[in-house]
């Protein structure tokens, strides 16, 4: 979401929610009173309150149409959503902190088993994206123009690196990542450039 806001040059107030500190700030009553699901990101625009990344990005794109995130063509727009959802629904939820904490709680997994679980879903999803995005030619996921897919892909590549995934198997994704990380919105949205970023990130 931060990438989209910077890409569209939208002024916003950033309120960090630490997912680990004190058992996770997303579990505190003051946050749950606003967002009962206790997830991030959460977006507030006046009286409108939205959770779920795709809903937020769709709203942002419609309200602030400059620098569009979705293609105008109906088929390409649907394809853009499909490719984004490979990450948003098919990779990210299976290896996020909340799921991994529950896996450990229920099955007593070791740190290595946790890593193996997460790595499996990341690599499976990236393999599909390597093939699918290879159908498009250009610096970005769907060709010459930045789209919503890039906003999902770059954070997932960042996460893949955290898990030690060998990205040499995904040259198309690496090229897209390199192209995006040269752009100001991605630089500004980088986790290490946030006011709450740990010094060792």
The three-state DSSP-derived secondary structure of 74-103 is HHHHHHHHHHHHHHHCCCHHHCCHHHHHHH
pLDDT(71) > 70: yes
What does the mean pLDDT of the chain come to? 90
Alpha-carbon span 4 to 57, nearest angstrom: 7
pLDDT(16) > 80: no
Of the ranges 46-50, 157-161, 194-198, which one carries the lowest mean pLDDT score? 194-198
Tell which residue, 14, 161, 156, has the closest CA to residue 90: 156
- SS3 assignment, position 49: strand
pLDDT for residue 169? 96
pLDDT for residue 10? 96
CATH code of 2-66, in short, is 3.40.30.10
Q: Is the pTM of this model over 0.85?
A: yes
Alpha-carbon span 88 to 30, nearest angstrom: 26
Confidence of residue 188 (pLDDT cuts 50, 70, 90): very high
pLDDT(29) > 60: yes
Alpha-carbon span 66 to 156, nearest angstrom: 25
Residues of the chain with CATH 3.40.30.10: 2-66
Residue 42: which H helix or E strand, with range? strand 42-45
Alpha-carbon span 39 to 55, nearest angstrom: 14
Residues of the chain with CATH 1.20.1050.10: 74-188
pLDDT for residue 17? 73
CATH code of 74-188, in short, is 1.20.1050.10
Alpha-carbon span 140 to 127, nearest angstrom: 17
pLDDT (tens digit per residue) in 83-113: 999 999 999 888 887 788 888 889 998 989 9
Confidence of residue 30 (pLDDT cuts 50, 70, 90): confident
Tell which residue, 16, 4, 6, has the closest CA to residue 40: 16
Task: Give me the mean pLDDT over the 121-138 stretch.
Answer: 97
- SS3 assignment, position 186: helix
pLDDT for residue 151? 98
């Amino acid at each position: 979401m931060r990438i989209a806001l910077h890409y569209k040059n939208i002024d916003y107030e950033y309120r960090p929610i630490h997912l680990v500190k004190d058992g996770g700030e997303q579990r505190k009553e003051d946050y749950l009173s606003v967002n009962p699901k206790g997830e991030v990101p959460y977006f507030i625009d006046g009286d409108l309150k939205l959770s779920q990344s795709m809903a937020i990005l769709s709203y942002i794109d419609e309200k602030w149409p400059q620098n569009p995130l979705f293609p105008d063509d109906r088929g390409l727009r649907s394809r853009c959503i499909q490719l984004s959802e490979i990450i948003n629904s098919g990779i990210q939820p299976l290896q996020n902190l909340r799921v991994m904490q529950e896996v450990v709680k229920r099955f007593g997994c070791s740190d290595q088993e946790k890593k193996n679980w997460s790595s499996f879903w990341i690599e499976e999803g990236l393999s599909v994206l390597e093939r699918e995005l290879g159908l498009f030619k250009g610096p970005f996921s769907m060709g010459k123009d930045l789209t919503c897919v890039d906003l999902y892909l770059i954070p997932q590549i960042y996460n893949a690196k955290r898990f030690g995934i060998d990205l040499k198997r995904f040259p198309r994704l690496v090229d897209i990542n390199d192209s995006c990380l040269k752009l100001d919105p991605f630089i500004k949205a980088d986790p290490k450039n946030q006011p709450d970023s740990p010094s060792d990130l």
